[in-house]
Amino acid sequence: MAPKNAFYAQSGGVTAVINASAAGVIETARKHGDRIGKVFAGRNGITGALKEELIDTSHETDDEIRALIHTPGGAFGSCRHKLRNIDENRHEYERLIEVFRAHDIGYFFYNGGGDSQDTAFKVSQMAERMGYPLNCIGIPKTVDNDLPFTDCCPGFGSVAKYVATSTLEASLDIQSMCDTSTKVFILEVMGRHAGWIAAAGGLAGKNPGDAPHIIVFPEHPFEREAFLNKVDQCVKDHGFCVVVASEGAQYEDGRFLAEAGQKDAFGHTQLGGVAPTLANMVKQSLGHKYHWAVADYLQRSARHIASQTDVEQAYAVGEAAVNYALEGRNGIMPIIKRESSDPYRWHISEAPLNEVANQEKKMPIHYTTDEGFGITADCRAYLEPLIQGEAFPPFEKGLPKVAKLENRPVEKKLKADFKL
């Protein structure tokens, strides 16, 4: 019997290492040409399958597929498209199976966060209902580090390394100038619902008094007075104060600081900007000279300072997904199991998609200090291994070299022009 083809798609916010997972999938599939035919990638994620916009990765050279390991972003395009439940939205699931059948696809690999794992699970259910043989395997990915079961999420370790490194470097800058210039520096980082990324900033400081002096977590209701008092005390004690603030920082009542009334000249609310909001508080109440930075997408695409550990794990979950599929497994997701923190040892295990779907892993409360402005030794012990090792990309003419894929489309076989 001819080998079945595989479908691979990237979903949700991309990371510095999601393409390393893609390389893990494609390289492993190529090793098993006897059982896996071509790997088709969805152009812009699952919507590519729905629109029958498939990319034939078999045209890419082995070298370019290897180059995916050091290429940030999503090489085949990603999307934010959540399939609703099967009863409300049966036609989309049926369409997927129709497309898979038309292209003889027997393996479904979906690389994303919680929503994506939910989708992968529903697709596996639908395939069963329709009696279509399909091995559905989820592949974990998210800088938010909020997937359950897995010890960490591929993508997070590299953001953590970027944020810790940037905090360390900027702190040295402020420290040297604080006598006559900027005294307060605020770095805003990602993490809408959890403070994992902000916590990573804490790795920059090893000893008491080291910067960052304050971390603003979404997990702790923001108290203006406590924050300002701490800032002022830091400036008194150290001459300067470095703050790492999560974009998800919020007041007791749940209002995000980023939406707390910044208005432009036209009176429109200015969305985004925890950092400028905090900086304004400092200026108005304390009068200290401040600077602020918002890393935004720079942090999740910073492949140049990716964590080697993260790159290896991202590749490993892609490789494991294919191997699970070849074992005939279905409805599972490879996960990272930590064996020990020091020395750091881990291996790949698995979790059932139906339990992964739509569960959010919160940061343990004992990972933050009681006053709520710092990380604990437990948190440090958890985070430190994840930023170990450098995985510098090759450079060409002073800039990182990235994969240049052909992304050749697969000829459509279905007449119906599907509307999303």
Does position 296 interact with its own copies (CB under 8 A)? The reply is: yes
Nearest Cα to 380, choosing from 371, 365, 389, 368?
Answer: 368
Does position 266 interact with its own copies (CB under 8 A)? The reply is: yes
Q: Which is nearer to its own copies, 365 or 381 (CB)?
A: 381
State how beta strands 395-396 and 399-400 pair: antiparallel
* 247 annotated as belonging to a binding site for a ligand: yes
Does position 77 interact with its own copies (CB under 8 A)? The reply is: yes
State how beta strands 332-341 and 344-352 pair: antiparallel
162-181: contacts with its own copies (CB under 8 A): 164-166, 168-170, 172-177, 179-181
Q: 3-state class of 70 per DSSP?
A: helix
Whether 324 and 350 have beta carbons less than 8 Å apart is answered as yes
Annotated catalytic residue: which of 56, 144, 146, 151?
144
- Residue 9 bridge partners (DSSP): 110
221-260: contacts with its own copies (CB under 8 A): 260
* 286 annotated as belonging to a binding site for a ligand: no
Q: How many residues bind its own copies (CB under 8 A)?
A: 84
388-417: contacts with its own copies (CB under 8 A): 388-390, 392, 395, 397-400, 402
Residues 6+ apart with CB under 8 A from 316: 24, 334, 336, 348
Minimum CB separation from its own copies for residue 36, in Å?
Answer: 24
Which of residues 232, 369, 384, 418 is near its own copies by CB under 8 A? Answer: 384
Does position 291 interact with its own copies (CB under 8 A)? The reply is: yes
Convert residues 194-223 into a mask of x (bound to its own copies by CB under 8 A) and - (unbound).
Answer: ---------xx-------------------
* 190 annotated as belonging to a binding site for a ligand: yes
* Nearest-angstrom CA–CA distance, 23 and 405: 12
- Residue 111 bridge partners (DSSP): 10, 139
User: At what angle are helices 274-285 and 224-238 packed, to 10 degrees?
Assistant: 70
DSSP H helical ranges for 203-271: 224-238
Does position 86 interact with its own copies (CB under 8 A)? The reply is: no
Q: 3-state class of 11 per DSSP?
A: coil
Active site residue 144: yes
* 175 annotated as belonging to a binding site for a ligand: no
User: At what angle are helices 90-102 and 114-129 packed, to 10 degrees?
Assistant: 70
Which of residues 97, 199, 305, 391 is near its own copies by CB under 8 A? Answer: 305
* 396 annotated as belonging to a binding site for a ligand: no
Q: Which residues are annotated as a binding site for substrate?
A: 142-144, 190-192, 247, 297-300
Residues acting as catalytic residues: 144
